[in-house]
Structure 1
Amino acid sequence: MVMTPALAETLAMVSEAASCARNPWWIIGSAAVVLHGRSIDQVKDVDLVMSAPDGEEFLKRVGERPQSGKPNDRFRSLVFGTWTKPPIPVEVMAGFSVATPDGWRDVALSTREEVTVQGQRVYVPSVDELIRLLRTFGRAKDHSRADLLQD
């Protein structure tokens, strides 16, 4: 697995901070691609998807507050915040939805694979589900990440 020390430390910190979550949670985006063993030029942030109650509790636990503001035209979360203490910022997306041609769709992941990083467990969707999710996001960078997973 190609992983920088900063990403490994960040993921271990996420695992520890999310250990009290009542519902399943996942790492998605570029960090998930790396956790599936692919190489990415740079992981600029770690995307953590969790339930809204768990997201609120997570942010409180790490000393951050949910951010207020309007969702963008592609993504929205019931609870959103950024944890800035880890080496790589962690974006908490709780109650996460994505805009599709048919309207807003809740991101409801059904697969959950465990990966151990620095002795801590983190969770990612299966490769197939992550590919579908990235393609749903529709951005060029997400399509590129999905292509990496298909190789």
Structure 2
Amino acid sequence: TPAAAICIEHILKEVDFISIGTNDLIQYLLAVDRVNESVAHLYQPFHPSVLRSLKNILQSAESAGKKVSIFGELGGDPMATMLLLGLGNIDDLSMEPHSVPKVKKVIRTIRLEEARQLADDVIHMSNPDEITSFITNAMRVRFPEDFDRDLSFEEKPSPT
């Protein structure tokens, strides 16, 4: 919840690890019901408040020596993987099985310095669309062979 994100330093004194549920965190930070069709378009995973909250949580957990798991749609989104790794230390990402190869490719291919630079570049941006565009362009440059016409990161079949 946003309250837990704000008080993370106090919570970390009482726990052995933390798990971040990104779907609920985004929904409650932005006060947007992601299943309500009339406002679902306002549900923006790359909103500055979401990214700054995640960065604060990850940095606080690292300072406290606590492990961090991320679950929810953001954890299995290859477009978010590089950014998440750049925001701070993450020990576990939970995702749907079909997301594993895509996320694995991003993790195995990028350098941590690249991820940190991406996070540094977007953390000061104030517009979610600008952030999304910046991340999309960075991923398109880094993984040109994996983007289809819809800009979605797609697993290509291996040649036989």
Q: What TM-score range do you get, normalising by the shorter chain? A: 0.3 to 0.5
If each structure's helix is expressed as a fraction of its own residues, which one has the higher value? 2
If each structure's strand is expressed as a fraction of its own residues, which one has the higher value? 1
Task: Specify which structure has the bigger relative contact order, considering alpha-carbon pairs within 8 angstroms and separated by 6 or more residues.
Answer: 1
Structure with larger Rg = 2
TM-score (norm 2): 0.31
TM-score (norm 1): 0.32
